[in-house]
Structure 1
């Protein structure tokens, strides 16, 4: 019973975030979109000599994605920047 209560408290952590960003946090669309594009890039390459080459390729794609979107704020995050800073 106590374990269930702890799990319920963790579930409600979501509600401690500002309402402006809850939809963004709840959604996995950004992650799914990136994974889909990454899969297409890997399939286009067709062949990697070893797992290390595949790891380096994926890491390069992740770093390029981060560089591209580094200065963008997702919907609602600019409005509650101060609240998030105080939370973390």
Structure 2
């Protein structure tokens, strides 16, 4: 049901779908619905072009990064100090950033000029 909020054509339609979702699930999850409706930035992604909305509300990029960290730290048994762990993680952040620096996420290539104009 909540996917319909993200698939809405515009912000007004998303608000309607959100209210429908809240009405359908309020009895089952009253606290969750109450907290969800209090979120002022919940529909901020609707202010962006439709081509990139999925990338904005999805957690795929974060999950991919976490998977990278798990893969690289799996072979390490332990770290002698907390500082060594920090240095290792920063090096992994840099490696990941360098690897994905040239990569353009789906939908962003055609809107690059528009997004640059919006944020510069």
TM-score, normalization by structure 2: 0.62
Match of 1:29 among 46, 49, 60: 60
Decide whether aligned partners of structure 1 residues 17 and 33 sit closer, same or farther in structure 2, where only a CA change above 3 A counts: same
| Structure of higher CA gyration radius | 2
Aligned-partner SS, 1:86: helix
Instruction: Structure 2: state its 5+ residue gaps.
Output: 1-36
Match of 1:62 among 78, 90, 93: 93
Runs of 4+ in 1 over 6 A off after TM superposition: none
Mean CA deviation greater in 11-20 or 58-67: 11-20
| Residues 14-61 of structure 1, C-alpha deviations (whole Å, 9 max, x = no match) | 111111000011111121122122123223111111111001101101
Instruction: Structure 1: state its 5+ residue gaps.
Output: none
TM-score, normalization by structure 1: 0.83
RMSD, aligned CA: 1.8
Tell me, in whole angstroms, the C-alpha distance in 2 between the residues paired with 1:55 and 1:49. 11
Matches within 5 A, 1:1-88: 7=40, 10-88=41-119
How many residues in Structure 1 have an aligned counterpart in Structure 2? 83
Structure with greater proportional helix content: 1
Tell me, in whole angstroms, the C-alpha distance in 1 between the residues paired with 2:39 and 2:76. 46
Q: CA deviation at 1:5?
A: 8.2
Tell me, in whole angstroms, the C-alpha distance in 2 between the residues paired with 1:63 and 1:23. 26
